[in-house]
Protein backbone atom coordinates (compact mmCIF):
# COMPACT_ATOMS: atom_id res chain seq x y z
CA UNK A 1 0.00 0.00 0.00
CA UNK A 2 1.22 3.47 -0.94
CA UNK A 3 -0.85 6.34 0.39
CA UNK A 4 -0.19 9.87 -0.87
CA UNK A 5 -2.82 11.75 1.15
CA UNK A 6 -2.62 11.66 4.97
CA UNK A 7 -2.81 14.10 7.86
CA UNK A 8 -1.05 14.44 11.21
CA UNK A 9 -1.75 16.71 14.17
CA UNK A 10 0.14 19.44 12.31
CA UNK A 11 -3.27 20.17 10.80
CA UNK A 12 -6.46 18.30 11.73
CA UNK A 13 -5.16 14.76 12.20
CA UNK A 14 -4.81 13.19 15.63
CA UNK A 15 -1.35 11.57 15.47
CA UNK A 16 2.13 13.01 15.53
CA UNK A 17 3.87 12.29 12.19
CA UNK A 18 6.14 9.59 13.61
CA UNK A 19 3.22 7.60 15.04
CA UNK A 20 1.27 8.04 11.81
CA UNK A 21 4.18 6.49 9.92
CA UNK A 22 4.61 3.70 12.46
CA UNK A 23 0.94 2.72 12.27
CA UNK A 24 1.05 2.82 8.48
CA UNK A 25 4.03 0.48 8.44
CA UNK A 26 2.24 -1.98 10.71
CA UNK A 27 -0.76 -1.82 8.35
CA UNK A 28 1.49 -2.94 5.49
CA UNK A 29 2.39 0.35 3.83
CA UNK A 30 5.67 0.64 1.95
CA UNK A 31 5.55 4.42 1.46
CA UNK A 32 3.36 7.39 2.29
CA UNK A 33 3.12 11.13 1.95
CA UNK A 34 2.21 13.32 4.89
CA UNK A 35 0.12 16.10 3.38
CA UNK A 36 -1.27 18.28 6.12
CA UNK A 37 -3.81 20.98 5.29
CA UNK A 38 -2.23 24.34 4.58
CA UNK A 39 -2.84 27.85 3.37
CA UNK A 40 -0.80 31.05 3.62
CA UNK A 41 -1.16 31.06 7.41
CA UNK A 42 0.74 27.85 8.16
CA UNK A 43 2.43 26.43 5.07
CA UNK A 44 5.99 27.36 6.07
CA UNK A 45 5.72 25.86 9.55
CA UNK A 46 3.89 22.72 8.43
CA UNK A 47 6.31 21.88 5.65
CA UNK A 48 9.38 22.63 7.75
CA UNK A 49 8.24 20.16 10.41
CA UNK A 50 7.16 17.45 7.97
CA UNK A 51 10.46 17.70 6.09
CA UNK A 52 12.40 17.40 9.36
CA UNK A 53 10.56 14.24 10.38
CA UNK A 54 10.80 12.75 6.89
CA UNK A 55 14.58 13.21 6.82
CA UNK A 56 14.91 11.41 10.14
CA UNK A 57 12.64 8.51 9.23
CA UNK A 58 14.03 8.07 5.73
CA UNK A 59 17.35 6.97 7.20
CA UNK A 60 15.58 3.59 7.20
CA UNK A 61 15.66 2.76 3.49
CA UNK A 62 12.93 0.15 3.81
CA UNK A 63 10.17 2.77 3.97
CA UNK A 64 9.69 6.13 2.27
CA UNK A 65 8.11 9.17 3.88
CA UNK A 66 7.38 11.93 1.39
CA UNK A 67 6.94 15.47 2.69
CA UNK A 68 3.93 17.11 1.14
CA UNK A 69 0.99 19.41 1.70
CA UNK A 70 -2.71 19.59 0.91
CA UNK A 71 -3.63 23.10 -0.16
CA UNK A 72 -7.13 23.47 1.24
CA UNK A 73 -10.01 25.84 0.45
CA UNK A 74 -7.63 28.20 -1.35
CA UNK A 75 -9.48 30.75 -3.53
CA UNK A 76 -8.92 29.67 -7.14
CA UNK A 77 -7.18 32.93 -8.07
CA UNK A 78 -4.54 32.29 -5.37
CA UNK A 79 -3.89 28.64 -6.20
CA UNK A 80 -1.07 29.16 -8.75
CA UNK A 81 0.89 31.27 -6.28
CA UNK A 82 0.38 28.79 -3.44
CA UNK A 83 1.44 25.81 -5.55
CA UNK A 84 4.66 27.62 -6.51
CA UNK A 85 5.26 28.48 -2.87
CA UNK A 86 4.74 24.89 -1.74
CA UNK A 87 7.25 23.66 -4.33
CA UNK A 88 9.77 26.30 -3.27
CA UNK A 89 9.39 25.28 0.38
CA UNK A 90 10.24 21.66 -0.43
CA UNK A 91 6.92 19.88 -0.88
CA UNK A 92 7.57 16.72 -2.90
CA UNK A 93 3.86 15.95 -3.28
CA UNK A 94 1.26 18.68 -3.62
CA UNK A 95 -2.36 17.66 -3.15
CA UNK A 96 -5.12 20.04 -4.17
CA UNK A 97 -8.30 19.89 -2.08
CA UNK A 98 -10.80 19.35 -4.87
CA UNK A 99 -14.50 20.10 -5.21
CA UNK A 100 -15.74 17.33 -2.92
CA UNK A 101 -19.50 17.02 -2.58
CA UNK A 102 -19.22 16.94 1.22
CA UNK A 103 -17.78 20.46 1.71
CA UNK A 104 -18.54 23.92 0.25
CA UNK A 105 -15.47 24.13 -1.98
CA UNK A 106 -15.49 27.15 -4.31
CA UNK A 107 -16.43 26.46 -7.91
CA UNK A 108 -13.42 26.58 -10.22
CA UNK A 109 -11.11 24.98 -7.67
CA UNK A 110 -10.64 21.77 -9.66
CA UNK A 111 -9.66 23.65 -12.80
CA UNK A 112 -7.26 25.95 -10.93
CA UNK A 113 -5.39 23.05 -9.33
CA UNK A 114 -5.18 21.22 -12.64
CA UNK A 115 -3.88 24.31 -14.42
CA UNK A 116 -1.30 24.76 -11.64
CA UNK A 117 -0.19 21.15 -12.18
CA UNK A 118 -0.51 19.79 -8.67
CA UNK A 119 0.47 16.15 -8.27
CA UNK A 120 -2.90 14.98 -6.98
CA UNK A 121 -6.39 16.43 -7.24
CA UNK A 122 -8.05 15.01 -4.15
CA UNK A 123 -11.72 14.00 -4.03
CA UNK A 124 -12.66 16.03 -7.14
CA UNK A 125 -16.41 15.48 -6.78
CA UNK A 126 -18.37 15.78 -10.01
CA UNK A 127 -15.33 16.76 -12.03
CA UNK A 128 -16.19 17.70 -15.61
CA UNK A 129 -14.93 15.86 -18.66
CA UNK A 130 -13.14 19.03 -19.79
CA UNK A 131 -11.22 19.19 -16.51
CA UNK A 132 -10.50 15.46 -16.54
CA UNK A 133 -8.99 15.74 -20.02
CA UNK A 134 -6.93 18.73 -18.93
CA UNK A 135 -5.69 16.66 -15.98
CA UNK A 136 -4.47 14.05 -18.46
CA UNK A 137 -2.66 16.72 -20.46
CA UNK A 138 -1.07 18.28 -17.36
CA UNK A 139 -0.11 15.02 -15.66
CA UNK A 140 -2.40 15.56 -12.67
CA UNK A 141 -3.58 12.42 -10.87
CA UNK A 142 -7.25 12.08 -9.90
CA UNK A 143 -8.01 10.57 -6.52
CA UNK A 144 -10.27 7.67 -5.60
CA UNK A 145 -10.66 7.95 -1.85
CA UNK A 146 -11.52 5.60 0.99
CA UNK A 147 -12.70 8.51 3.15
CA UNK A 148 -16.39 8.65 4.04
CA UNK A 149 -18.21 11.62 2.57
CA UNK A 150 -15.59 12.40 -0.03
CA UNK A 151 -16.02 8.89 -1.45
CA UNK A 152 -19.60 9.37 -2.63
CA UNK A 153 -18.36 10.57 -6.02
CA UNK A 154 -15.78 7.78 -6.48
CA UNK A 155 -17.90 6.07 -9.13
CA UNK A 156 -18.14 9.24 -11.21
CA UNK A 157 -14.41 9.98 -10.91
CA UNK A 158 -13.48 6.39 -11.76
CA UNK A 159 -15.73 6.14 -14.81
CA UNK A 160 -14.81 9.54 -16.21
CA UNK A 161 -11.13 9.04 -15.41
CA UNK A 162 -11.02 5.75 -17.28
CA UNK A 163 -12.87 7.17 -20.26
CA UNK A 164 -10.47 10.10 -20.50
CA UNK A 165 -7.32 8.10 -19.78
CA UNK A 166 -6.58 9.92 -16.53
CA UNK A 167 -3.99 8.73 -14.05
CA UNK A 168 -5.89 7.51 -11.00
CA UNK A 169 -4.68 7.04 -7.42
CA UNK A 170 -6.30 5.44 -4.40
CA UNK A 171 -5.62 7.34 -1.16
CA UNK A 172 -7.12 7.30 2.32
CA UNK A 173 -7.11 10.97 3.39
CA UNK A 174 -6.35 9.55 6.83
CA UNK A 175 -6.88 11.73 9.89
CA UNK A 176 -6.91 9.00 12.57
CA UNK A 177 -5.51 5.46 13.02
CA UNK A 178 -8.72 3.80 11.90
CA UNK A 179 -8.60 5.64 8.57
CA UNK A 180 -5.47 3.84 7.41
CA UNK A 181 -6.13 1.05 4.95
CA UNK A 182 -4.47 -2.06 3.57
CA UNK A 183 -4.37 -3.51 0.08
CA UNK A 184 -7.41 -5.73 0.68
CA UNK A 185 -9.65 -2.88 1.80
CA UNK A 186 -8.28 -0.53 -0.84
CA UNK A 187 -9.08 -3.07 -3.54
CA UNK A 188 -12.67 -3.32 -2.28
CA UNK A 189 -13.01 0.47 -2.52
CA UNK A 190 -11.68 0.36 -6.08
CA UNK A 191 -14.07 -2.44 -7.04
CA UNK A 192 -16.93 -0.56 -5.40
CA UNK A 193 -16.13 2.42 -7.60
CA UNK A 194 -16.55 0.24 -10.68
CA UNK A 195 -12.84 -0.34 -11.30
CA UNK A 196 -11.14 -3.69 -11.91
CA UNK A 197 -8.23 -5.50 -10.30
CA UNK A 198 -6.09 -4.39 -13.24
CA UNK A 199 -7.16 -0.79 -12.64
CA UNK A 200 -6.17 -1.16 -9.00
CA UNK A 201 -2.74 -2.43 -10.04
CA UNK A 202 -2.34 0.59 -12.33
CA UNK A 203 -3.21 2.91 -9.44
CA UNK A 204 -0.53 1.26 -7.32
CA UNK A 205 1.95 1.66 -10.18
CA UNK A 206 1.00 5.34 -10.48
CA UNK A 207 1.65 5.84 -6.77
CA UNK A 208 4.98 4.03 -7.00
CA UNK A 209 6.03 6.31 -9.86
CA UNK A 210 5.32 9.39 -7.73
CA UNK A 211 7.37 7.95 -4.86
CA UNK A 212 10.31 7.31 -7.18
CA UNK A 213 10.05 10.77 -8.71
CA UNK A 214 10.07 12.35 -5.24
CA UNK A 215 13.59 10.97 -4.64
CA UNK A 216 13.49 11.11 -0.86
pLDDT digits (tens, 9 = 90+) for 17-41: 999 999 999 999 999 999 999 999 9
> Residue 149: its pLDDT value, please?
97
Give the domain CATH number at 153. 3.20.20.140
Please give the full DSSP string across 150-177, using - where no structure is assigned: GGGGHHHHHHHHHHHTPPEEEE--BSSG
Q: How far apart are CA 33 and CA 128, in angstroms?
A: 27
Q: CB neighbours of 144 closer than 8 A, spacing ≥ 6?
A: 151, 154, 157, 158, 168, 169, 170, 171, 189, 190, 193, 195, 203
Beta partners for 120? Answer: 95, 141
> Residue 21: its pLDDT value, please?
98
Rg (CA), the chain: 16
Q: Are 197 and 29 in contact (CB under 8 A)?
A: no
Closest CA to 85 of 67, 69, 108: 69
> Residue 216: its pLDDT value, please?
83
| Percentage of the chain lying above the pLDDT 90 cut | 98
pTM for the predicted model, two decimal places? 0.97
Report the domain count for the chain.
1
Which domain does 124 fall in, by range?
A: 2-214
Q: How far apart are CA 32 and CA 207, in angstroms?
A: 9
End-to-end CA distance of the chain: 17
pLDDT in tens, the chain (216 residues): 999 999 999 999 999 999 999 999 999 999 999 999 999 999 999 999 999 999 999 999 899 999 999 999 999 999 999 999 999 999 999 999 999 999 999 999 999 999 999 999 999 999 999 999 999 999 999 999 999 999 999 999 999 999 999 999 999 999 999 999 999 999 999 999 999 999 999 999 999 999 999 988
Exposure string of 1-30, with b = 16+ CB inside 10 Å and e = fewer, is bbbbbbbbebbebebebeebbebbbebebb
Amino acid sequence: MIDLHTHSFLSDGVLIPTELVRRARVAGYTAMAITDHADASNIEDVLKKIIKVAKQLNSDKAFKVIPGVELTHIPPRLIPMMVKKARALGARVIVGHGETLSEPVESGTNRAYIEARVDVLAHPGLITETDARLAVKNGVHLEITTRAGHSISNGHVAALGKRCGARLLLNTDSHAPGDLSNDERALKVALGAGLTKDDFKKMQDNADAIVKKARV
